[in-house]
Amino acid sequence: MADVTLEITVPDAWVTRVLNAFNTIADTHMTIGARGSGVPDTEFDGRWDFRIAVKDPAENNKQFGQRVLRELGKAVVNMVDVAEDNVRYRTEVGAITPPASDVPEDVLT
């Protein structure tokens, strides 16, 4: 499969606003979440906590913007992967017979 290139253009009138927003969220604790589904019999429930490092002085604005969007995209992929693995985990744990006591009441009289 070939690489997929996504190009996003921020119009000149919005560059300052977008970069200010990216700088504001940089190095903060962020959580993304999604739940529900448009697919019948499928209920999605996922969350992912992450941080995006502050703008490196060696980065230009374009590189910083690309990195922020890349990190947000990776966070979505992580959220989905972990949510799917949580379903697997709950299914496997649910199949284990829980501990039980089989000591009879009259073990000591």
List, for residues 94-107, the tens digit of each pLDDT value. 999 999 999 999 99
What single-letter amino acid sits at 48? W
For residue 5, being part of any structural domain is answered with: no
81 belongs to a structural domain: yes
pTM for the full predicted model: 0.79
On whether residue 86 sits in a domain, the answer given is yes
pLDDT at 41: 67
Contact 55, 71 (CB under 8 A): no
- β 44-50/30-36 pair status: antiparallel
Q: Domain count for the chain, please give it.
A: 1
Q: Is residue 59 part of a domain?
A: yes
Q: Which domain holds residue 47?
A: 12-96
Degrees, nearest 5: CA angle 4-86-53: 55
Mean pLDDT of 68-86: 95
Position 107 in a domain: no
